[in-house]
Structure 1
Amino acid sequence: MKLKDLIQNVQDARLHFLATTSPLTDEQVIFKPSSENWCITEIVEHMVWAELGGINGIWKAIAGIKNKQPVWMGEAIHQGLSIEQIIQKTWREKEIVPENAKPSWGGPIDYWRASLLNNQNLLQLLSSALEGLNPEIVIYPHIISGPLNVYQRLEFLRFHLERHQKQIENIKAHPDFPQS
């Protein structure tokens, strides 16, 4: 797939994800099926932080290559694999969320929804930032999966949105989910 197509896939996944978060009442967005689960607002906040970390990593990798100081110089162990194959190889059933991606600020869901939408602008600018570079050699390691190139990072953003969309759908299907 081309870079433009992958960026569009992320945008489509983001819009589908956000559609599951609206319209909901204040009571619905803070509902937790158990004390171990995040509420919908916390999931959206997590998505903002996780995406910012991944997108910033791509930009750091681009700058590193352009400045002849790449952030990754190891073996591209996942070369040619889809993100689903990489996740299957590297993730456990329930992963521990890195500290920088945990929901911690709080605040209204509308703020987090707007923030998540704004992340797309950072992706749109990638095409020009990558001008003259092969996206397959621009690598920034994922905290769990290891070295991912730009294509795999973009696939991960789509995958991650879809994964957490299902989590929100499960919360909404919970028998104790508040009715509007």
Structure 2
Amino acid sequence: MRTTLLTLLLSLTVLTGLRAQDLSADDRAAGLAYLEKTRAGVYAAAAGLSEAQLTFKAAPDKWSVAQVLEHIASAEDMLLGMVTEQALKAPPRSDGEDVKAIDALILTAIPDRSQKRSAPEPLIPSNRYGSSAEALKHFGESRTKTLALMADVPDLRGHAMDSPLGKKLDPYQWLLFISAHTERHTKQMLEVKADPGFPKQ
């Protein structure tokens, strides 16, 4: 009986340790909601724009709505590939890191347009999709894959890899990063549309 009880207690201890790495249902739901919200934001910002409006640039060194759309779509691909090929295969996170604080950092730092950053060379717009309609279509297809990853993959807290934030991010946090990046550049599209020179039609 003692041996059986000891075995049971040891099993519970191991399971508890594993569950500590699990993603909570609330976090998963919040991550899905953020992905859906930011997808809707992109669609709303781009809806009904003419070619003149899509290609308007407030200054020669500024991006147009069309260029921002292309950047959002290509960044989604790059970051999603990073999650599947690197983050999900990375070593476990070090003990003692406050994952909730890192979650909060992503949600505040990445969408903050007061902090200017330069896009990496592979993500600079180059008309790779041929049109804004194709860029938007590609974004939608990629976002569907991102949503499926958030919804279905169980081990989103079990690994962590380096990030531009100076913190190691687990796969769940990289998916938050994708949404936050989308939010950041949706704000950029709205800034273009708010420019006094933006075409009326």
Q: Same fold (TM over 0.5)?
A: yes
Judging changes above 3 Å, is the alpha-carbon distance between structure 1 residues 44 and 110 closer, same or farther for their aligned structure 2 residues?
same
Q: d(CA) in 1 for partners of 2:74 and 2:120?
A: 10
Task: Name the structure with the higher strand share.
Answer: 1
TM-score scaled to structure 2, two decimals? 0.72
| Mapped partners of 1:84, 1:4: distance in 2 | 16
The worse-fitting range, judged by mean Cα deviation, of 152-161 and 165-174 is 152-161
Unaligned runs of 5+ in 2: 1-25
Correspondence for 2:163 among 115, 123, 142: 142
Identify, as 1 or 2, the structure richer in helix.
2
1:164 to 182, 185, 193: 185
Identity score, percent: 20
Q: Does the aligned pair in 1 maintain the 2:28–2:151 contact within 8 Å? A: no
Asked whether the 8 Å contact 1:58–1:139 carries over to 2, the reply is no
The structure number with the bigger radius of gyration is 2
TM-score, with structure 1 as normaliser:
0.80
Which segments of 5 or more consecutive residues in structure 1 lack a partner in the other structure?
A: 65-69
Q: Give the distance between the partners of 1:83 and 1:46, measured in 2 at CA.
A: 23
Q: Answer with 140-149 or 49-58: which moved more.
A: 140-149
1:113 aligns with: 136
Letter in 1 for 2:133: D
Alignment match, 1:175: 196
Retained in 1: the 8 A contact 2:87–2:171?
no
Supply the distance in 2 between the matched residues of 1:49 and 1:112 (Cα, whole angstroms): 8
Please provide the CA RMSD for this pair: 2.7
Q: 1:140–1:149: 8 Å Cα contact kept in structure 2?
A: yes
Q: Distance in 2 between matches of 1:100 and 1:145?
A: 21
- Give the counterpart of 2:100 among 48, 57, 80: 80
C-alpha deviation, 1:54, in angstroms? 1.1
Change (3 A) 1:73 1:35: farther
